[in-house]
Amino acid sequence: MKPNQRYSLAALAQGALRNHQNWDRAWQSPPLKPQYDVVIIGGGGHGLATAYYLAKNHGIRKIAVLEKNWIGGGNSGRNTAIIRSNYLRQDSIRFFDKSVQLYETLSRELNYNIMFSQRSEVDILLTNTSMRNMRRRCFNMNLQGVDFKMLSADEVRQRIPVLAPMKECRLPILGGSVQSRAGIARHDAIVWGYARAASAYGVDIIQNVVITGIRRAENGEISGLNTDRGLIKTNKIATAAGGENSSVAEMAGIRLPLQTFNLQAFVSEPIKPVLDVVVNCPDLQVYLSHSDKGELVVGGITDAQQISFRRGGKLAVLDSTVAGLLELFPTFRRLKLMRQWGGALEFARDGSPIISLTPIKGFYVSAGWWGGFKAIPAGGLTLAHTIAKDEPHPLSACYRLNRFDTMNFLMESGTTVPIH
């Protein structure tokens, strides 16, 4: 295995002298081997981060990441890239804040610029219910020593001057809340950065491979998998298949408490800088940020209750998201929308993810990631620990699968919309 070429200003300058013909491939895609120590199904952020931490922290080298399409083509390449840790319960706050902390040093660690911009997320609150919910979140966050604070209506307007003037508002702004370490990062860079760093440790990243079955030995333990490129022997398989963990688990012979819904987002044409924070409005069910390219990146709620793997977007949801956007920002009404897309998001019954061992020895799950872009570093770190040690990582023990058997639900919901 060959160490990565270092990305730096000097390397860039050298490249300029050679017409940029000097760059190596960022990651290797060797042919599939017949046997691995660990096989990870799904080349999204979670799968690739897991491979990286397995190699780096646990010294496991024979790892394959099997991706049926191309890496980052799932939700990791379709999200609105918001990173925050303003969750409700102490276990979730700890886990997601660890993830924010890992993001803070990730560019340096991976030698890959992930463009993490901690520009703050400001929640605009229009009802007493939202004020109460956010204040509760605020108390819990502060108890964990994580930054989060309430804002007055005036402070909200100072942070976001482009908001509609008071006299034009249907619902007056009562106040707000802010996490100043929250922000956005470049989603592709997370995927490619982890892929490149994992590849340097010798992880095989295999794209366009179809998994046709998961094999179990007579004692029930995992023994391998069948693919369109032949049989692979392995005693450990982890599924990190984004919206499709149910079907992978079905191949192994277990059912997971998951449902997959569609979530959409869209972007406007590029405009000059108007917004330097991430804005979220739970009452109007809309959130947005201004990307480095100048586009407003806007998202709303899921197509509720309808199981969907279509990865599209319903017009009615687009319509109500735009209505909410224009209520807050009437000046955006003449902007053209350029692109709209969707992703198939998984929800566990209690709204929290699953990072866990399963009743099948050698089968591990990372699932239920409806807001899991922000969780990629911590998700990878803790799943790698779970796989290597065959026991949960202390940070993710709260996300074990058997919490459903004992009804130890960890109820969480989004900040844009509650999850039922």
Half-sphere exposure of 154 (CA within 13 A, CB side): 0
Does position 17 interact with other proteins (CB under 8 A)? The reply is: no
Q: For ligand FAD, which residue has the nearest CB?
A: 44
Does position 212 interact with other proteins (CB under 8 A)? The reply is: no
Q: Give me the helix-helix angle, 45-58 and 187-200, nearest 10°.
A: 30
The answer to whether 117 and 184 have CB atoms below 8 angstroms apart is yes
Amino acid identity at 418: P
User: How far is the C-alpha of 244 from the C-alpha of 262, rounded, in Å?
Assistant: 12
Shortest spacing between CB 264 and ligand FAD, in angstroms? 6
Interacting residue ranges for ligand FAD, rule: CB under 6 A: 41-47, 66-69, 73-76, 78-82, 211, 240-242, 244, 248, 263-265, 299, 343, 345, 369-374
Partner from ligand FAD, other proteins, none contacting 74, C-beta within 5 to 8 A by type: ligand FAD
| Residue from 228, 306, 390, 391 in contact with other proteins (CB under 8 A) | 306
Does position 73 interact with other proteins (CB under 8 A)? The reply is: no
Q: Comparing C-alpha atoms, which of 302, 229, 239, 274 is closest to residue 30? A: 229
Shortest spacing between CB 194 and ligand FAD, in angstroms? 10
Does position 304 interact with other proteins (CB under 8 A)? The reply is: yes
| Residue from 221, 404, 417, 418 in contact with other proteins (CB under 8 A) | 404
User: How far is the C-alpha of 93 from the C-alpha of 65, rounded, in Å?
Assistant: 29
Pairing of strands 121-125, 175-179: antiparallel
Terminal-residue alpha carbon distance, the chain: 48
Partner from other proteins, ligand FAD, none contacting 242, C-beta within 5 to 8 A by type: ligand FAD
Neighbours of 267 (CB within 10 A): 21
Shortest spacing between CB 7 and ligand FAD, in angstroms? 23
For residues 7 and 243, which CB has a smaller minimum distance to ligand FAD in the complex?
A: 243
Does position 260 interact with other proteins (CB under 8 A)? The reply is: yes
Q: Give me the helix-helix angle, 376-389 and 45-58, nearest 10°.
A: 50
Shortest spacing between CB 244 and other proteins, in angstroms? 8
Express the helix, strand and coil content of the chain in percent, nearest 5 each: 30, 25, 45
Partner from ligand FAD, other proteins, none contacting 176, C-beta within 5 to 8 A by type: none
Single out the segment in contact with other proteins by CB under 8 A; choices: 26-34, 35-43, 140-148, 404-412. Answer: 404-412
Partner from ligand FAD, other proteins, none contacting 225, C-beta within 5 to 8 A by type: none
* Eight-state DSSP code of residue 18: T
- 97 phi, psi to nearest 5 deg: -75, -35
The answer to whether 179 and 205 have CB atoms below 8 angstroms apart is no
Shortest spacing between CB 350 and other proteins, in angstroms? 9
Does position 386 interact with other proteins (CB under 8 A)? The reply is: no
For residues 7 and 256, which CB has a smaller minimum distance to ligand FAD in the complex?
A: 256
- 3-class SS at 202? coil
Unique residue bearing structure tokens 């406007």: 268
Shortest spacing between CB 219 and ligand FAD, in angstroms? 25
Shortest spacing between CB 287 and other proteins, in angstroms? 22
- 366 phi, psi to nearest 5 deg: -130, 105
Does position 255 interact with other proteins (CB under 8 A)? The reply is: yes
Q: Which residues bind other proteins (CB under 8 A)?
A: 246-247, 250, 255-260, 304-310, 312, 314-316, 349, 404-407
